[in-house]
Chain A
Amino acid sequence: MTFSNQKVAEVVNANFVPAWFNRSPGFKNTDDAAEKSIFQGASEAFLTKNICTFVLTPDGKVFHYIAGYVSPELFLRFLEDALALRRAGFDQWMIQKPGGLESLRKLHAERAAAYETEAKSTPKLCGTEERSYRDLTHRHGDACAWQLGETWRYLGRVHRFWEKTARLPALDDVRYKYLYGNNFSEEGQGAIPIASDPTTMRGLR
């Protein structure tokens, strides 16, 4: 749903080079009930460890990520953050600027503070229009507001992680070990598992 959104496609194509990877070859999605449940109960965001989207330099160093599914509106905000980081830390050819790492850490700290503040306020839902996915429709309710608050808390944690990062990690250092919001996963036996996150929202309660 998010990648089918026209505005998301425009922003991605104009500013990023996208690629995807299946970490569980041979996996067949047969759990239609789970898909429907997630769409209807967590339309704003479902911050599962199942999925992660990383932002990298061309030489493979990661400087931001988000785990799980988020709505097009939230994903666009994630992309805005990534582009602000790109401008702060790198030159026009994506070479790290002198002092670029410090600039990245400073901006991550600012974003963390902003999301932490937002998490304490009344969540403002992203639009009120009906959404559709396959044969389902969804209209926002209280559960969506809760998901949004959890998303701001999660993004606050992710930005705090980056604020404290002394050097940009290679993709292989983080692709199976990242912060996420819930433990939902459905990989097959051959998949490399994702390391447990001791600070998951479930664990905090």
Chain B
Amino acid sequence: MKALVVLGVLFTATAAWAGEEWKDYGKGIRWEKSLDAAKLRAIKEGKPLLFHQLVGDLDKEGC
């Protein structure tokens, strides 16, 4: 029973986020793939958005 509860919590936690874990730079932050996707999750979770605009691709260490 305890294992089922743990699995349920894990499923709920991961189901809320549709992004991908990064392997290297920026590892740890759960980036959404787009601003629109982030807005949807922000509404669902009641959180503010953190929108990082840069020159280059962040996953390739843009500036």
Contact = CB atoms under 8 A, between A and B. Distances in A.
Given A51-B52, A191-B55, A16 B47 contact: yes
A86 B28 contact: no
Interface string B50-61: 111111111011
B12 to A, nearest CB: 15
Interface in A122-157: none
A121 interface: no
B52 A18 contact: yes
29 contacts: A3-B28, A4-B26, A9-B29, A12-B30, A12-B50, A16-B50, A17-B45, A17-B48, A17-B49, A18-B30, A18-B50, A18-B51, A19-B32, A22-B57, A22-B62, A23-B53, A51-B54, A51-B63, A53-B50, A54-B51, A54-B52, A56-B51, A57-B49, A58-B48, A82-B48, A92-B46, A93-B46, A94-B46, A187-B55
Given A18-B31, A21-B51, A58-B47, 4 more contacts: A19-B34, A56-B49, A93-B46, A171-B35
- A-B complex: 10 closest residue pairs judged by Cβ atoms: A9-B28, A58-B42, A19-B38, A16-B50, A56-B49, A93-B46, A20-B52, A3-B26, A17-B42, A58-B43
